[in-house]
Amino acid sequence: MKHPVRFAVAMQLIAGLAVLMVIAVVPTVVLYPLALAGLQGTAAAVLSWLIGMPSWWWWIGGGFVPMAYLLADLGISPSYWLAGFVLLALVFWRTDTSRVPLYMSNSMTVEALSGLLPHQSIKFIDLGCGDGRLLRQLARLRPDCLFVGYEHAPLTWAWARLFGFGLKNLDIRYGSFWAHSLASYDVIYAFLSPAPMPKLWIKALEEMPPRALLISNSFPVPGVRARQTHAVSDKRRTILYCYAVGGTT
């Protein structure tokens, strides 16, 4: 499903129509707004399930209107909700289209990753560097290498810039990594989601130099055999998938 948010909105609209039909048939039901909110949520959840949306969308669709109704009763100023929304938007940015939320590589993964880096001086890029923690740790471990990070979420980018200040071998850039060529990098690191992996592989095939390595945290490229996989002994059992161009099966 390419645009789940659009589908989620459509499910709410259809559920809303169903609720209006119930009101038309049984007008006294308006005396029970919480029941109507529950009905709207149930209809949205069932519709999300029927059209095959992933299960977390059933919960989001089902809970949205009842929660909005209950929270409205708390009398919290709308400006707080707006501020919360803006804050989340600045961190999660266009997750609806990128399908890549924010979660961080843990320190054991950083350690494992540093062990996979070539011994000579290299240029490394993190596609979607989040708060830049991974790059800062690597930049300190390997002062002989250059670490570049692209981030499109304004607040996380600002954070990465601010906390990376002073590290000479760290370069945090604002913008989408899709618009940036991979041609000059030796190691390309991605911790994204399953959704962009086929497109990322096409980009890698077009731009990655033959000597370079693409390392994907947790998400393999579908239909492509990794040159090497590396299991990290962390709690979430992270797997690092390493690809070189020409590795297609």
Q: ∠ at Cα 103 (100, 105), nearest 5°?
A: 115
Q: How far is the CB of 178 from ligand SAM (least distance, A)?
A: 5
Residue among 11 and 240 whose Cβ is closer to ligand SAM: 240
Among 126, 146, 148, 238, binds ligand SAM (CB under 6 A): 126
Asked if residues 185 and 215 have their Cβ atoms less than 8 Å apart, the reply is no
Residue among 48 and 238 whose Cβ is closer to ligand SAM: 238
Residue with tokens 């989601």: 193
Binding mask 128-157 for ligand SAM (x = CB under 6 A): xxx---x---------------xxxx--x-
List C-alpha distances in Å: 138 to 101, 146, 171, 224: 22, 10, 12, 27
- Strand arrangement, sheet containing 239-243: 170-174, 146-151, 123-127, 187-190, 213-217, 239-243, 228-231
Binding mask 186-225 for ligand SAM (x = CB under 6 A): -----xx---------------------------------
Residue among 59 and 178 whose Cβ is closer to ligand SAM: 178
Q: How far is the CB of 158 from ligand SAM (least distance, A)?
A: 12
Asked if residues 145 and 118 have their Cβ atoms less than 8 Å apart, the reply is no
Give the number of other Cβ atoms within 10 Å of residue 69's Cβ. Answer: 16
The residues of the shown chain that bind ligand SAM, judged by CB under 6 A, are: 93, 98, 100, 102-105, 126, 128-130, 134, 150-153, 156, 176-178, 191-192
